[in-house]
Chain A
Amino acid sequence: DTEVTQTPKHLVMGMTNKKSLKCEQHMGHRAMYWYKQKAKKPPELMFVYSYEKLSINESVPSRFSPECPNSSLLNLHLHALQPEDSALYLCASSQGTGTSYYGYTFGSGTRLTVV
């Protein structure tokens, strides 16, 4: 298995809703990432998990809450989002955060619309 699987592919939520995005990989990668991508813009790093511990939080608002229950799974819990949070949310994984890896593997993303 050489893929990162993200579910759901599309999500529409209201500003008062609570929802979660899920990301899964079975490549034995020990680093996992969340990125946010607005239309026609490059992906922006949000969070980095290394060995199931949060190592980087790029000053992301608290309405986004990441969780890494085990080495294969990464969640992003969403609460009280704003319409400007509508974007493509990408998950990625790599063997580690050091230079001995061979590249990040990205999922296809969850297209989130906040109404």
Chain B
Amino acid sequence: DAKTTQPNSMESNEEEPVHLPCNHSTISGTDYIHWYRQLPSQGPEYVIHGLTSNVNNRMASLAIAEDRKSSTLILHRATLRDAAVYYCILRSDRGSTLGRLYFGRGTQLTVWP
């Protein structure tokens, strides 16, 4: 399975933008890039996903490099409620990997007031 690499931790101040990087140099053409976050004592929460083009939704934006070997999750204005572990995940729908969502180590985001 293709792997992702994320920094262990990042910090931000409240109301500032946050850019969370993810490297996935072994990504294949059919792998979707997914982001989930997990707040303390909760299950993971879907944030955003994309294939090739940049994506925006009410929670965040996803910027995907042209060669797709890296991506960045952008939180436009961090709030205290955004403090969580953010997981960058590649999801393949080929053969035996169909339906599998494998979590990497994730990035712990700390937001300071």
Indicate if the CB atoms of B32 and A50 lie closer than 8 Å.
Answer: no
A55 and B99 in contact, given A99-B32, A103-B34 (Cβ under 8 angstroms): yes
B68 within 8 A of A: no
A99 and B43 in contact, given A42-B103, A45-B101 (Cβ under 8 angstroms): no
In this complex, how many residues of chain B approach chain A with their Cβ under 8 Å: the count is 22
B46 within 8 A of A: yes
Q: Give how many A-B residue pairs fall within 8 Å (CB-CB).
A: 54
How many angstroms between the C-alpha atoms of A106 and B34 in the bound complex? 14
B44 within 8 A of A: yes
Q: Please tell me the size bucket of the interface on A.
A: 20 to 34
A108 and B100 in contact, given A42-B105, A42-B106 (Cβ under 8 angstroms): no
Q: Which of B15-60 contact A (CB under 8 A)?
A: 32, 34, 36, 41-46, 49
B102 within 8 A of A: yes
A interface majority secondary structure: strand
- How many Å from the CB of A90 to the closest CB on chain B? 5
Indicate if the CB atoms of A90 and B100 lie closer than 8 Å.
Answer: no
A107 and B43 in contact, given A42-B87, A42-B105, A97-B93 (Cβ under 8 angstroms): yes
Which B residues have a C-beta under 8 Å from some C-beta of A?
Answer: 32, 34, 36, 41-46, 49, 87, 91, 93, 98-106
Contacts of B44 in A (CB 8 A): 43, 90, 92, 104, 106
A48 within 8 A of B: yes
Indicate if the CB atoms of A103 and B99 lie closer than 8 Å.
Answer: no
Contacts of A4 in B (CB 8 A): 43
